[in-house]
Amino acid sequence: MAVDRATLEALLRDAFPAAEISLTDLAGDDDHWSAEIVDDAFRGMTRVAQHQKVYAALQGRMGNELHALQLKTRAPS
C-alpha cells in the first residue's frame, strides 16, 4: 500500500504547520515522492537532523508504505 498525496501532506503539515511544503509524485505511483520543506524549525540544524525530523513525522511509513522520498529541507532565507 502506497502513501497518497493527501496522507503525505497531512503528516508533514501536522509536524510542520507553518512550513512551505511542495510535493511531487516522481513516478505517478504514490510510492516515489520528492518533498521540499522550508520551515524555521530547521534553523541551526544539520541537513541530517532536518531529514531525521521529517522521517519522524512520517510515523514509520518510510521504507514500508513509502518506498522513496527525495528530500530538500531548509530554513527560510
Residues 10-26 have pLDDT tens digits of 999 999 999 999 999 99
Give the separation between CA 77 and CA 64, rounded to whole angstroms.
34
Q: What is the mean pLDDT of the chain?
A: 94
pLDDT band for 67, please (50, 70, 90 cuts).
confident
The number of distinct structural domains making up the chain is 1
Domain of 70, in residue numbers: 5-74
- CATH number of the domain within which 43 lies: 3.30.300.90
Determine which helix (DSSP H) or strand (DSSP E) holds 12, and give its type and residue range. Answer: helix 5-15
